[in-house]
Structure 1
Amino acid sequence: MRRKLQIKFVIALTLSIAITMSGCSNNGNDGNPDRAGNHNAPSESMSPAASETNHSADRSPFGKYETPIAIQVGKSAGPTDKYPEGDSIENNIWTRFYKDELGIDVKIAWTALMGEQYDQKTKLAIASGNMPDLMTVNAQQLAQLVENDQIADLTDAVEQYASEFTNVLLNADGGMAMKAVTYNGKIMAIPSTGSMIDSSNVLWIRQDWLDKLGLQPPKTIADLKDIAEAFTTRDPNGNDKSDTFGLGITKDLWSITGTAGLEGFFNSYHAYPTIWVKDDSGNLAYGAVQPANKQALADLQEMYKAGWIDPEFGVKDGGRVSEDIGANKIGMLFGKMSTPFYFLATIMADPSIDWRPYPLPSIDATPASTQQDFPVQNYYVVRKGYEHPEAAVKMLNLAEEVTRTSDSEIHKRLKPKFDAALEKTEGFAAFPIIYGDLPTKNITAYLNIKKAMETKDESVLTTKEEKTSYEGLLDYINTKNPANVTYWLVFGPSGSQSVLNEYYSNKRYVGTEFYGAATPAMTTKQSTLNKLIVQEFTKIIVGNSSIDEFDRLVKDWNKIGGEQITKEVNDWKASR
């Protein structure tokens, strides 16, 4: 029972937060794919279905093709994916659902490990023109594919085939997601929708280390520095070795893997480095090149010089930082509401480990506001020339109908089968090929669970997922079973969703001001500019450059493309 609760929680929550991890390694403002020519001819190796013309598409959202059609998919895979015995990435609960319910025969054209490997595979497919019928891309790749006329116009497919729930899903954010995939009035991709609220930054701290050293949670940056020093110098892990660091950071600086990024640190200084904000004149400006970053960089340089930051952070990715967390070397980091997934194995091994989430501290008397990223980072695209672009929409319809609460015949019939497969599935193996999530799903669940806990009235729980999370939370409270600690850390009274609710209720958030399709200059320049920022910020942090070099960085950023991107972004704003 406890394992069942844990697995259901992981899939329910991860469906809404893994969007930045599955598919592409770069976020919506990242990526610099090589420019490709106009490759529109159907690829014989990629699509055996493209040349067939005798298929009849039932125009209902869940209508089955009279003769099965094939669709070649480029798919990402997680590092810990595990299928039930007899299943595989080519033959699993979802491929069978697609075939049996819709008449869609999924063929896996290629797979790659999510992150950098998938990104490289996608770039190669785009550059060669040998694309699968369906794959996931980032914002810059989407813009490139549109410019090169390599992907199908999905306007008719979405308008004619989207189910009622899919229409709600695609427009639940007020239309931002759909604007990001609309080029010249045409829908060119299906956005992998997510939650802007869930992208908020949270400070995670080892509460057991705070208690051991007699320290209080930080409310100011000065408090954070005191904790960082104590965690470095006062042997909080008790092994009589100097092997701990005050603040965990990855070489990427930003939360590409969902943990140990520095966005939250900069937010504490009222700087918002990876989103577009309004400047004093009301124009849109990129956060990383605004003056508020200088003080944050100066303080990071001070902390690094004092030894409170791992001197090897510049070569450590999220995986290696997670290893340090597991080795009891890090007791504080900035992350997301989903960061407990990185703690689970450590807490399972030692239940006395006590991580807690806290709101961002502030550099001054003004409470810090978290930045909120544009929640759509990945986009599902269909190769131009594929005969059945509506198949992608039908696949999304089915995934949402099965995984969400519904009274439909399809849900009642297929959800038990999905749950049974889920019991024997690990990692991202249980994910449908196309999926999305409502923007307020998790915070609504938190509020309903909170009310059920306070009133002892389970009738306020509106979905099966909420009931599962509620049961898992109760189990942890009553038994302290570490397998269910993630319920406590996310949906508990002091869990990460409680911090996000505090931000939301008090309007302590700054959302990105740009959510349109990638501009022309972004497609060719953004990746280079992002690398420049990480490179120069890192030099400043480790002391190889003075803080005054920030001003030179701003000039260089503008010179090599930032100024042009800023103009294009403001042109987009003026056109709205």
Structure 2
Amino acid sequence: MNRSKKRIMSSLLLAGVLTLSTILSGCGGNNSSNNGNKPSNSSNTENASNAANNGAEAVLQDGKYDPPVTITYLRPWGPDVKFKSGEDQDNNVHAAWAKEKLGIELKNQWVSPSTNNAFETKLRLSLASNSEMPDIISYRGDFNIVRELIESGKFLDAGELFDKYASDVWKAAMNEDPSVWYPYMEDGKRIGIPILDYAYNGDPVMWIREDWMQKFGFDAPETLDELEEIMEAFTNQDPDGNGKKDTYGLSIGFKNWINTWMSDAGWVFGAFGTMPNQWNLTEDGTLEYGSVSEGSKQALAKLQSWMSKGYLSEEAGLYDETKAAEEFTAGKAGIVVGPHWMPSWPLEDVKKNNADAQYKAYPIPAGPDGKVGRHGTANSNGVVLINKDMKNPEAFFKYQNYLFDHFANPEAGSEFEFGLAEGYDWVMVDGQPTTDAAHTGGFAPEKYTITFDGARIPSLNMSTLAKLASGEEATTPFEKKLKSSVPQSMLEAAEIVMAQKDSVYQQMFTGAPTATMQMNNDILGKMEKDTFSQIIYGKAPLDSFDTFVEKWKSSGGDQITKEVNEWYQSVSGGQ
């Protein structure tokens, strides 16, 4: 599964567990929690000077545009978005709220589903025919689409507007990781505004069959050597007690790649100081492709050993991420590595397949030199582009500021304490609010927002889960909602994620493919996958890695490395 699909899946899974509360207020760099809905004088002056739709002046009156302004926009609509009878993408509870509360009418320029590339095809046709673009394009998916939009020249320097109009809450959330801007920069300008997501959302932990661990009396594996003892027992000592040799230690799937969103083995490479198939930041401040580092050779040697001993499935190279996870849920493998949210899916099948089975999250073990490493999760999941011809760009910030100030982390007693819309994502049952889908019907109005999820503060979710796991009391509406909707196994996994947060290898190259990448990446990628697979299966000697590295470098790798570092210097300023 590619990077964008990985992000979408983790976001959808989390949204199914966590339907957040509260929403919207204020505009500009002022803290709207202090100002309430009343704008500052400067905000009134700025907005009064902008021509609104239909030729009228867009003037803020008590925090609301009068006359109303219209924001036309485009975004893909996924199959996870569910409407009540009589409602649709333009006419729904959230659109009605935006008009009533803010004086902003939300209007899709056209509607297209996200499936089968329908949205992308129609958008590309619009670009090719030079059709009029909407005020806002909000997109998550194919990064090539984003680059085409940016390079069209139809969108303005959104970073400049962000500095001017974004609220303090939104700015603080963005500043948790300034590198989220990097993919959307062009000639030093921040053309796209990153759509923030929860930090560490896809970072892995190690899930192990706890009933098997107890059967053999194993403690948590702190090193790869200790992990090997566990895999040996899971493979050769009949952990399920059926009298057959039909289990093995670790389930991984590297059909798509070896460092992936679930059932991955990137952490094995992390134990040797690198992360494959991504660009890592080195101690000297430059970027290095992890697959050609010396650590990758050591990791491949370890995986080759595990395959030869039967600790891995012989089908691992044919398994994608989901199929490999199914080996764990079916009781064939004792260990799988993946995100903290796996108890929501697919690990619920463990109990369905064996009512007596137990599983538990464990930390990623260390390598021979004490190194621990895992792949990281980006703090953003999509982008917002603002049309150069938008008459009221500040209106979008009015809208999104309100989401960040009131929805992302609501206060007790506030308008959105229990959810975005009563009768949709929350209802009263026996005098108590509930978000249980059995009562709500599974409606999620935050999915109707321009930015897919309303507003997310990256650090908030995982830090809250870790807090709850430690036994602290849930005091805020956000904390109470998580506590009521997240199982204990997920809380414990989140605590492990945060405990090992310093072991993250983040993908540092997030720009458009470089010139040499465009020409050579397919060839280099195939060479890499073939070599790694051959080594793991023992069909090629370990030293063939050295030949691969030499050929990778001479076949464009060295030039790509130069181009990647030039890009990194251009966006980071050498920081």
Tell me if TM exceeds 0.5. Answer: yes
Q: Contact conserved, 1:138 with 1:377, CA < 8 A, in 2?
A: no
Q: Separation in 2 of the partners of 1:384 and 1:523?
A: 31
Q: What is the SS of the residue equivalent to 1:298?
A: helix
Q: Contact conserved, 1:268 with 1:361, CA < 8 A, in 2?
A: yes
Unaligned runs of 5+ in 2: 1-11, 21-51, 428-434
Q: Contact conserved, 2:375 with 2:505, CA < 8 A, in 1?
A: yes
Q: Separation in 2 of the partners of 1:412 and 1:335?
A: 32
Residue 129, structure 1, aligned to residue 148, structure 2 = no
Q: Separation in 2 of the partners of 1:189 and 1:341?
A: 32
Question: How much has 1:488 moved relative to structure 2?
Answer: 0.7
Q: Contact conserved, 2:280 with 2:289, CA < 8 A, in 1?
A: yes
Distance 1:210 1:107, change over 3 A: farther
Residue 419, structure 1, aligned to residue 425, structure 2 = yes
Distance 1:433 1:263, change over 3 A: farther
Q: Contact conserved, 1:158 with 1:390, CA < 8 A, in 2?
A: no
Cα deviation, 1:544-567, whole Å, max 9, x if unaligned, reads 433223223323433444323321
Q: Separation in 1 of the partners of 2:516 and 2:99?
A: 39
User: Structure 1: which amino acid aligns with 2:407?
Assistant: V
Question: How much has 1:467 moved relative to structure 2?
Answer: 2.0
Q: What is the SS of the residue equivalent to 2:107?
A: strand
1:121-160 to 2 correspondence within 5 Å?
Answer: 122=120, 125-126=123-124, 129=127, 133=134, 134=137, 135-137=139-141, 139=143, 141-155=145-159, 157-160=161-164
1:104 to 103, 106, 110: 106
Q: Separation in 1 of the partners of 2:56 and 2:518?
A: 40
User: Structure 2: which amino acid aligns with 1:466?
Assistant: E
User: Structure 1: which amino acid aligns with 2:166?
Assistant: A
Q: Separation in 2 of the partners of 1:442 and 1:155?
A: 26
Question: How much has 1:364 moved relative to structure 2?
Answer: 0.9
Question: How much has 1:394 moved relative to structure 2?
Answer: 4.7
Distance 1:227 1:305, change over 3 A: same
2:531 to 536, 540, 550: 536
Q: What is the SS of the residue equivalent to 2:518?
A: helix
Residue 284, structure 1, aligned to residue 283, structure 2 = no
Q: Give the aligned partner of residue 46 of structure 2.
A: none
Q: Give the aligned partner of residue 270 of structure 2.
A: 267
Question: How much has 1:501 moved relative to structure 2?
Answer: 3.1
Question: How much has 1:77 moved relative to structure 2?
Answer: 2.2
Question: How much has 1:291 moved relative to structure 2?
Answer: 0.9
Q: What is the SS of the residue equivalent to 2:249?
A: coil
1:449 to 458, 461, 468: 468
Distance 1:466 1:246, change over 3 A: same
Q: Separation in 1 of the partners of 2:196 and 2:143?
A: 13
Q: What is the SS of the residue equivalent to 2:74?
A: strand
The worse-fitting range, judged by mean Cα deviation, of 553-562 and 385-394 is 385-394
Question: How much has 1:221 moved relative to structure 2?
Answer: 1.6
Q: Give the aligned partner of residue 197 of structure 2.
A: 194
Q: Give the aligned partner of residue 4 of structure 1.
A: none
Residue 468, structure 1, aligned to residue 481, structure 2 = yes
Question: How much has 1:237 moved relative to structure 2?
Answer: 3.5
Question: How much has 1:342 moved relative to structure 2?
Answer: 2.3
Q: Contact conserved, 2:71 with 2:396, CA < 8 A, in 1?
A: no
Distance 1:202 1:181, change over 3 A: same
Q: Give the aligned partner of residue 550 of structure 2.
A: 555
Question: How much has 1:259 moved relative to structure 2?
Answer: 1.7
Distance 1:295 1:55, change over 3 A: farther
Q: Give the aligned partner of residue 375 of structure 1.
A: 379
Q: Separation in 2 of the partners of 1:194 and 1:308?
A: 36
Q: What is the SS of the residue equivalent to 1:468?
A: helix
Question: How much has 1:220 moved relative to structure 2?
Answer: 2.0
Q: Separation in 1 of the partners of 2:517 and 2:548?
A: 21
Residue 502, structure 1, aligned to residue 499, structure 2 = yes
Q: Give the aligned partner of residue 490 of structure 1.
A: 490
Distance 1:231 1:389, change over 3 A: farther
Q: Separation in 2 of the partners of 1:332 and 1:351?
A: 18
Distance 1:364 1:344, change over 3 A: closer
Q: Give the aligned partner of residue 30 of structure 1.
A: none
Which structure has the bigger radius of gyration?
2
Q: Separation in 1 of the partners of 2:256 and 2:56?
A: 47
1:314 to 317, 321, 335: 317
Residue 512, structure 1, aligned to residue 517, structure 2 = no
Residue 402, structure 1, aligned to residue 397, structure 2 = no
Q: Give the aligned partner of residue 573 of structure 1.
A: 569
Q: Separation in 2 of the partners of 1:389 and 1:95?
A: 18
Question: How much has 1:292 moved relative to structure 2?
Answer: 0.4
Cα deviation, 1:34-73, whole Å, max 9, x if unaligned, reads xxxxxxxxxxxxxxxxx97536545799744735636342
Q: What is the SS of the residue equivalent to 1:364?
A: coil
Residue 361, structure 1, aligned to residue 365, structure 2 = yes
Question: How much has 1:533 moved relative to structure 2?
Answer: 3.5
Q: What is the SS of the residue equivalent to 2:563?
A: helix
Question: How much has 1:287 moved relative to structure 2?
Answer: 1.6
1:217-296 to 2 correspondence within 5 Å?
Answer: 217-250=220-253, 251-254=255-258, 256=260, 258-279=261-282, 283-296=286-299
Q: Contact conserved, 1:362 with 1:368, CA < 8 A, in 2?
A: yes
Q: Contact conserved, 2:259 with 2:275, CA < 8 A, in 1?
A: no
Question: How much has 1:522 moved relative to structure 2?
Answer: 7.8
Question: How much has 1:314 moved relative to structure 2?
Answer: 2.9
Cα deviation, 1:290-333, whole Å, max 9, x if unaligned, reads 11011211221232233332233333323333433332223211
Cα deviation, 1:5-32, whole Å, max 9, x if unaligned, reads xxx995386689xxxxxxxxxxxxxxxx
Q: Give the aligned partner of residue 208 of structure 2.
A: 205
Q: Contact conserved, 1:231 with 1:331, CA < 8 A, in 2?
A: yes
Distance 1:60 1:360, change over 3 A: farther
Unaligned runs of 5+ in 1: 1-7, 17-50, 473-483
Cα RMSD (Å): 4.0
Residue 304, structure 1, aligned to residue 307, structure 2 = yes
Q: Contact conserved, 1:179 with 1:517, CA < 8 A, in 2?
A: yes
The worse-fitting range, judged by mean Cα deviation, of 92-101 and 336-345 is 92-101
Q: Contact conserved, 2:418 with 2:426, CA < 8 A, in 1?
A: no
Cα deviation, 1:401-448, whole Å, max 9, x if unaligned, reads 334214796546973535327643559885344145323213431454
State the percentage of identical aligned residues: 23
Distance 1:150 1:107, change over 3 A: closer
User: Structure 1: which amino acid aligns with 2:503?
Assistant: Y
Give aligned pairs, total: 503
Q: Give the aligned partner of residue 169 of structure 2.
A: 165
Q: Separation in 2 of the partners of 1:530 and 1:407?
A: 51
Q: Separation in 2 of the partners of 1:293 and 1:411?
A: 49
User: Structure 2: which amino acid aligns with 1:332?
Assistant: I
Q: Contact conserved, 1:176 with 1:515, CA < 8 A, in 2?
A: no
Question: How much has 1:360 moved relative to structure 2?
Answer: 1.5
Q: Contact conserved, 2:206 with 2:336, CA < 8 A, in 1?
A: yes
Distance 1:75 1:240, change over 3 A: farther
Distance 1:550 1:170, change over 3 A: same
User: Structure 1: which amino acid aligns with 2:562?
Assistant: K
Question: How much has 1:260 moved relative to structure 2?
Answer: 0.8
User: Structure 2: which amino acid aligns with 1:420?
Assistant: W
Q: Separation in 1 of the partners of 2:528 and 2:125?
A: 26
User: Scaled by the length of structure 2, what TM-score is found?
Assistant: 0.74
Q: Give the aligned partner of residue 48 of structure 1.
A: none
